């Protein structure tokens, strides 16, 4: 390793959603983001409810955008149509490339993994690709450690083309629960990029990961049940998203993104929260502050933990909980709720729609942590 460390004001470890969003907003200080993978190696779908100004900002990475979305179970479907929000799918690879192209001259992208990190106050020393670095502030976004038996959202997705045009190509299906529920809460997620081009994911919310073939079989079965014949499989993605508290890889330096608790615990959505958090952090940095803003209010974290406790205690109620939430809210309210921006009225509607006793038990357990 070189003996003279390169000195930086800010080092960002991990150039994913959070790291690149922050790096692309920094200016006028010496900074570097360290990321071993190329944007193309990181290609998957990141989706969010976007309003018009966000759609414009994210336009280089948008793969599809829908003003209608739905949830389905055996008893029927709830369709939301919004004038304000569009459910929008991004190519993460294109988003990361767009951020990379926006980096200012003072910010470098180092295509290497960080190791040997030694924390010193908010910063520290580390090496990457045999070079030593010393940074006054470090923001660490390396993926967090998830407990083996913790509640997680886990999925396999296939991007496919179809032999025949599909119906309802103008609606994003967020959750189709008409699938095997024997292993935990399970749904199919479908984004129709066109009437012959889809992303289809088999998603589980449970404590145990399945063998990848389990999700693949579920996708095949769902397609067969709808008589949708695949022309070709274009891509496969796999993901595991925490729905419980996580442990950062290094507890001594500030964390951002999923490592800093930016994943919404009850839904697994994180992209919008990370965008907002990184915009606020970049403004703080330009004003001379370095502290990472909290991603969520304490109330929201409490409510999400109660929801997850109720779900974990009685997973067979999961379908009903999500369907009841979507029925209780209109499209705009639902989008705000999923984004973590719901007001008191929206929360009141959701609480009224929930079965009371499981939630009272879950809330008491969360307050007294007696399990
Ligand atoms: C497949 C998938 C799909 C998702 N879809 C959605 C979605 O649709 N909507 C949504 O809101 N959320 C989604 N999420 C959740 C969340 O938005 C993403 O996980 C998001 O990428 C989190 O951003 P991040 O920056 O915290 O982590 P990441 O984007 O995972 O970035 C962490 C980076 O750290 C790098 N790294 C690892 N080790 C080192 C090292 N030693 N040195 C330097 N770098 C290192 C990794 O290569 C990685 O690029 C999804 C997650 C996954 C896994």
Is the domain of 167 the same as that of 129? no
Give the pLDDT of residue 196: 98
370/345: higher pLDDT: 345
| CA nearest ligand 1 atom 38, residue | 142
Two tokens, residue 75: 């008893």
- Give yes or no for residue 1 having a pLDDT over 80: no
Task: Using the 3D structure, point to which of 260, 286, 312 is the last residue of a domain.
Answer: 286
- Give yes or no for residue 347 having a pLDDT over 90: no
Cα dihedral 163→164→168→170 (10° resolution): 70
Query: Element (H or E) spanning 234, and its range?
Result: strand 230-242
**Count of beta carbons in the 10 Å neighbourhood of residue 370:** 7
| CA nearest ligand 1 atom 23, residue | 17
- Give yes or no for residue 143 having a pLDDT over 90: yes
The CA distance from 34 to 115, in Å, is 11
CB of 186 closer than 8 Å to CB of 202: yes
Is the domain of 19 the same as that of 126? yes
Give the pLDDT of residue 147: 84
356/237: higher pLDDT: 237
DSSP 8-state code for residue 249: S
Q: If you measure from the C-alpha of residue 295 to the centroid of ligand 1, how many angstroms do you get, rounded to a whole number? A: 16
Is the domain of 102 the same as that of 141? yes
Mean pLDDT, the chain, integer: 93
Q: What is the domain count for the chain?
A: 3
Q: If you measure from the C-alpha of residue 240 to the centroid of ligand 1, how many angstroms do you get, rounded to a whole number? A: 10
- Give yes or no for residue 271 having a pLDDT over 60: yes
Residue 259, classed as helix, strand or coil, is helix
The CA distance from 184 to 312, in Å, is 9
Q: If you measure from the C-alpha of residue 2 to the centroid of ligand 1, how many angstroms do you get, rounded to a whole number? A: 30
CATH number, position 281: 3.50.50.60
The CA distance from 217 to 237, in Å, is 15
CB of 144 closer than 8 Å to CB of 190: no
- Report which ligand 1 atom has the smallest distance to the Cα of 17: 25
Is the domain of 29 the same as that of 136? yes
The whole-model pTM stands at 0.94
Among 17-21, 159-163, 168-172, 246-250, the minimum mean pLDDT is found in: 246-250
- Report which ligand 1 atom has the smallest distance to the Cα of 270: 11
Two tokens, residue 363: 């809330």
**pLDDT tens-digit map of 14-34:** 999 999 999 999 998 999 999
CA-nearest of 72, 44, 23, 118 to 270 is: 44
CB of 103 closer than 8 Å to CB of 24: yes
The model's confidence at residue 343, banded by pLDDT at 50, 70 and 90, is: confident
Is the domain of 350 the same as that of 224? no
**pLDDT tens-digit map of 279-296:** 999 999 999 999 999 999
In percent, the amount of the chain with pLDDT more than 90 equals: 78
Two tokens, residue 92: 């993460």
For ligand 1, which residues put their CB under 6 angstroms from it? 13-19, 34-37, 42, 44-48, 113-114, 141-143, 237, 239, 241, 257-259, 263, 269-271, 274
Task: Using the 3D structure, point to which of 286, 308, 338 is the last residue of a domain.
Answer: 286
Two tokens, residue 275: 């965008």
Is the domain of 113 the same as that of 16? yes
């Amino acid at each position: 390793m070189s003996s003279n460390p390169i000195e930086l004001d800010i080092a960002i470890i991990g150039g994913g959603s959070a790291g690149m969003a922050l790096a692309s907003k920094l200016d006028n200080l010496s900074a570097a983001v360290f990321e071993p993978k190329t944007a193309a190696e990181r290609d998957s779908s990141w989706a969010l409810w976007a309003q018009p100004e966000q759609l414009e900002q994210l336009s280089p990475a948008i793969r599809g955008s829908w003003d209608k979305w739905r949830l389905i179970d055996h008893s029927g479907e709830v369709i939301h149509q919004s004038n304000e929000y569009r459910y929008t799918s991004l190519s993460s690879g294109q988003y990361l490339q767009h951020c990379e192209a926006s980096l200012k001259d003072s910010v470098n992208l180092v295509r290497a993994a960080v190791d040997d990190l030694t924390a010193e106050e908010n910063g520290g020393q580390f090496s990457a690709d045999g070079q030593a670095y010393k940074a006054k502030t470090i923001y660490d976004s390396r993926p967090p450690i998830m407990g083996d038996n913790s509640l997680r959202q886990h999925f396999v997705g296939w991007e496919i083309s179809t032999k025949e045009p599909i119906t309802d190509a103008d609606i994003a299906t967020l959750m189709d629960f008409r699938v095997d529920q024997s292993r935990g809460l399970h749904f199919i997620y479908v984004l129709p990029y066109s009437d012959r081009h889809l992303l289809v994911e088999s998603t589980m919310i449970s404590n145990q990961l399945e063998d990848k073939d389990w999700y693949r079989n579920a996708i095949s079965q769902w397609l067969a049940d709808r008589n949708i014949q695949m022309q070709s499989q274009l891509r496969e993605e796999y993901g595991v998203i925490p729905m419980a508290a996580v442990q950062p890889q290094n507890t001594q330096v500030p964390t951002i993104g999923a490592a800093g608790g930016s994943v919404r615990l009850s839904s697994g959505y994180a992209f919008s929260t990370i965008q907002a958090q990184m915009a606020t952090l970049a403004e703080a940095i330009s004003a001379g502050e370095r502290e990472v803003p909290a991603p969520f209010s304490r109330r929201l974290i409490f409510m999400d933990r109660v929801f997850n406790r109720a779900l974990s205690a009685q997973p067979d109620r999961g379908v009903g909980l999500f369907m009841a939430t979507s029925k209780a809210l209109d499209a705009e309210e639902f989008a705000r709720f999923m984004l973590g921006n719901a007001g008191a009225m929206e929360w009141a509607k959701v609480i009224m729609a929930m079965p009371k006793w499981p939630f009272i038990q879950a809330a008491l357990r969360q307050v007294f942590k007696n399990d």
